[in-house]
Amino acid sequence: MAFLVAGTLRVAAQMADAQDSLGRKGKYSLQGPRVALILSSPGVPTAMVAALGGVFQALGFESCERRESPVQGFLEELTWFREYLDARGGPMGCALVALVAPSGQLRQPQRLVQELSCCGALRGCPKVFLLLSAGHGAAPEPGAFLACLGELCGRSHHWSLLQLLTELFCRVAEESTGGTRCPILRSSLRGALFLGGVEPRGPEPEPSLSAQYDLSGARAALLLAVTQDRPGAQYDLEVLGGLCQALGFETTLRTDPTAQAFQEELAQFREQLDTRRGPVSCALVALMAHGGPRGQLLGADGQEAQPEALVRELSRCQALRGCPKIFLLQACRGGNRDTGVGLTALPWYWCWLRAPATIPSHADILQIYADAPGSSSGSPTPGSSDQADILSVYAATEGCVAYRDEKGSDFIQTLVEVLRADPGQDLLELLTEVNRRVCELDVLGPDCDQLRKACLEIRSSLRRRLCLRA
C-alpha cells in the first residue's frame, strides 16, 4: 500500500511540474511534446514555407502542421489548432506558430495570439509566434531573416531564445541595406527558454565586446511620475531613483507633470542629450501615472498623453543613435482584472502536494515580428532604425490593470530588487525574472476582494546584450 501511495504521489508531482512547465530554477522544462504550425496565406513562396520547416526542425520541433488559408481565415485555423491540441490529451511542452501573410495584411495579430492562449493543453507552457511578411516590399527580406535564424539555431543550441533573437536582430540590421532594418519581439515569458534542448552546464562565457552595448559614455535617466492620488508612487520614485544613481545614471526627476508636460519634458531631455559635449551611451525613461482605457498616460491634469509619442520623441535623438533606450511604464493599460488560470480540478492527493500556482492569462507568450508593425499615422517606418535599440517594459499587458499599493507598485519594487542583486547580467534575462516574480504574486485591487494576477509585457528591438553594471 505504501508503495502505491508513493508511486501515486510521484506521478502527481510530475504532473504538477508538467502543468506549470516552468522549472524551479527559472527555466522552462519543456517535458511534454513540442508542437508547431505554419499558417500561410495563398501565394506565399514554397521555398519560404520549406525554410520555416527547416528552422522548426533545428529548434527541436520534429513534427509540424502546415495549413494554408486567406488572412481572414487565420482565426478559424488557430481555433482548429487549439482544439486539436486540447483533444490530444496531456500537457504539451511548447508551441511554435508561424503566421505568414502579405505585407500589411496581418493587422490584428493579438486576436490570434489570444486564441492560442486559451488552450488548456498549453497552460503554463511557452507559446512562440513568428510573424513574417511575404511578397514585394517586405522588410526585412524574409528569406534572409529565416536563413540567419536557421544558421543561429543550428550552431547556438546553448543560447536561450532571447539571446539568440538579440543576435539575430543585430545580424538582420547589419545585412539590410544601410543597416536600417530591425525586428521587434514582445515577451511575457516567465523563464529562460532553451529550444535547442541543450542548457549550459556551467557559467556562460562572458560576451565579446562586439556582442554587447558599449556603455562607457554618459548615462542619463528621466523619471516622470504623477504622485497625486497614487498612493505608493513616492516609494517607487525613491527606490528607482536610488537604483539609477547606483547604476551610474545622471538622473532628472519631475513629479506631477501634466499631459503636455510629459511631451515637453521628453523633448527637453532629448535636446539636452543632443547638445552634450561628450558621448551618451544609454538613456532610461520611467513614465508613472494613471492609465486610460486604451493605454494612454493621464497627466496630473487628467488629460491624455500617448506613450508611443513619447517613445518616438526620444528615438529622434541623434546622440542616442545606435544606443539603447529603455522605457519603464508603470500605468494601467485598461480596466481588465486578470483572475489567472490554473488547474480546473484538483485530485484528492493534491492536499499533500504544492498545487501549481495560478498563472496570469497573458503569460508565457513570445511574439517575434520580422517586420516591425507600425502603430499609428506618423509612427516610424515599420522596421526602420527609429525603432531599433528600444526596450519598453509595461507593468501590465494590453487592456489590463497595473497594481500598486501604499508600499509601491509590484513592477517597480521587484525590478529594483532584481537589478540590485545582479546588475551585470543581460537586462532581457533579468526582466524575464522580474516578470516571473510578478506573475507569482496574488494581489488585491482597491475595488474588489478577489485575488488578481498581473503580467509584464517586454518589447525589445535591442541588437546587443545590455548589461547595466556601473
Is residue 109 a contact partner of residue 131, using CB atoms and an 8 Å limit? Answer: yes
> What's the grid cell of residue 426?
543581460
Task: Give 347's contacts (C-beta < 8 A, 6+ positions apart).
Answer: 12
Distance, in Å, from the CA atom of 230 to the CA atom of 356, rounded to the nearest integer, reads 33
Query: What is residue 349's DSSP assignment?
Result: G
Q: How far is CA 175 from CA 76, 125, 147, 200, 429, in A?
A: 36, 33, 12, 29, 26
Instruction: Single out the catalytic residue among 290, 317, 439, 455.
Output: 290
Dihedral sign (CA 192, 194, 200, 206)? negative
Instruction: Single out the catalytic residue among 332, 400, 439, 467.
Output: 332
Catalytic-residue membership of 157: no
How many CB atoms within 10 Å of residue 178?
A: 7
Distance, in Å, from the CA atom of 456 to the CA atom of 396, rounded to the nearest integer, reads 5
Distance, in Å, from the CA atom of 299 to the CA atom of 55, rounded to the nearest integer, reads 46
> What's the grid cell of residue 172?
538582420
Catalytic-residue membership of 332: yes
Is residue 131 a contact partner of residue 106, using CB atoms and an 8 Å limit? Answer: yes
The residues assigned a catalytic role are 290, 332
